[in-house]
Structure 1
Amino acid sequence: MIRTLCLLLLVICANASAVTLEQLQQRFASQPVIRANFVQVRTIAGMAQPLVSRGQLLIAQQQGLWWQQATPFPLMLILDDKRMVQSMSGQPPQVITADSNPQMFQFNHLLRALFQADEKVLRENFELDFHDLGNNRWQLGLTPKAAPLNKIFNRIDLQGEAFLNRITLDDKQGDKTEITLSATRTEPKQLTDEERARFAPAQ
């Protein structure tokens, strides 16, 4: 579950072709709503074939993050400051709150500081390795140096242009997860009524 939180929130932190953390923060602030399609390929040690999933995500600064997996099976995840809701087809939603799992939300708050491009937090928790690849392309390598991230990941690599295109997570278990984003869009700048309803509390 923590791996899922990390990769989802890193989508937000990297939504910019930023050369400096200040530029990254400015770009994030100018994009209140981000929508994209995703393909996730997870290669697990000992398994012959990778696990592939596809779907859509929505990130809203005020409401949080909505992740909708369509294949190989429907799964919906909502994450905000107070709760995480996971829903699978035919099952009641599972709700985790800060009160019921404070450790997870301590980790969540660290990542929220990360996607807000808090320079102090970023440098405390990661060794940074930024490369300008030319033609507006960039790559940012993050090597965790503090718990809990350094207990989970060896390295996280982010690649993109105007938007984040790819996240690669190399974890301590020998597994690798690659998230490819496409059709990233920021219009309309406000949530539609249908999008706003996605963040309504679970009944």
Structure 2
Amino acid sequence: MKFLPLICLLLAPWVHAVTLDDLQQRFTEQPIVRAHFEQTRTIKTMPQPLRSQGEMLIARDNGLLWDQKTPFPMQMMLTDTRMVQQVNGQPPQVITADNNPQMFQLNHLLRALFQADRRVLEQNFRISLQDKGDNRWALRLTPITSPLDKIFASIDLSGQQFLETIQLNDQQGDRTDIALSQHRLTPATLTHDEQQRFSAQ
């Protein structure tokens, strides 16, 4: 009987392995998540990577807010119907499925990544999910639909309670790394300013 705890320890990761349903459920239970992001873009033809950072918000019922602070201000708002991007105080650019279907598809995918939307992910990727133990997980997505398979070689995500890292590996050999930290679940409702941004046309 003294071996039983050891056997339970060895079997535990398999018995309680994290599944894609678990991830979607975990993220669905977080109506609003705010976090700090640091993004590093590594391009083969450039000697130094491009770095940016700022704050992001993912709201289950509204969409995604992406506020880059450095090296220049850039705001992006993404919902199911449109994407609005404003760079350095310039007039906002509105992208919809009608006026730029490929760009809209890519940005719609970004929201699906943050929410582990199983339906969207399974439609567009071959999925490999690894249980890293201690409730940690790693997800590799390999595109199976166009234009995603022409742009990305793979997309890697990892985290625990929250999504913590995203790595976009493109077909040209360039890479974008996004690290998310300082996750916050409160306030659990949108502020007035956040509501205004989602409702802006």
Q: Same fold (TM over 0.5)?
A: yes
SS in 2 for 1:188: coil
CA separation of 1:24 and 1:90: change in aligned 2, threshold 3 A: closer
CA distance in 2, matches of 1:34, 1:22: 19
Aligned identity (percent) is 59
1:53 equivalenced with 2:52 (yes/no): yes
Equivalenced residues, count:
185
1:29 equivalenced with 2:17 (yes/no): no
CA distance in 2, matches of 1:112, 1:74: 21
SS in 1 for 2:129: strand
Which stretches in structure 2 are left out of the alignment for 5+ residues?
Answer: 1-16
| Rg larger for | 2
CA distance in 1, matches of 2:123, 2:21: 16
Q: Give the equivalent residue in structure 2 for 1:74.
A: 73
Which stretches in structure 1 are left out of the alignment for 5+ residues?
Answer: 1-17
SS in 1 for 2:199: coil
How far the C-alpha of 1:19 sits from its partner, in A, is 1.5
SS in 2 for 1:92: coil
Deviations 1:48-105 (A, max 9, x none): 1000000000111222111000000011011112221111223111112333223444
CA separation of 1:159 and 1:119: change in aligned 2, threshold 3 A: closer
Moved more, 19-28 or 167-176: 19-28
Q: Give the equivalent residue in structure 1 for 2:185.
A: 186
CA separation of 1:172 and 1:55: change in aligned 2, threshold 3 A: same
Deviations 1:99-131 (A, max 9, x none): 322344455556666666554543342222222
SS in 2 for 1:199: helix
Contact 2:78-2:107 within 8 A present in 1 as well:
no
CA separation of 1:97 and 1:35: change in aligned 2, threshold 3 A: same
CA distance in 2, matches of 1:120, 1:127: 12
Deviations 1:136-167 (A, max 9, x none): 32211111122121111111111111111111
Matches within 5 A, 1:1-203: 19-106=18-105, 117=116, 119-202=118-201
What's the TM-score, normalizing by structure 1? 0.81
* Higher-RCO chain (CA-CA 8 Å, sequence separation at least 6): 1
CA separation of 1:20 and 1:176: change in aligned 2, threshold 3 A: same
What's the TM-score, normalizing by structure 2? 0.81
User: Where in structure 1 do 4 or more consecutive aligned residues deviate above 6 Å?
Assistant: none
| Coordinate RMSD, CA, aligned | 2.2
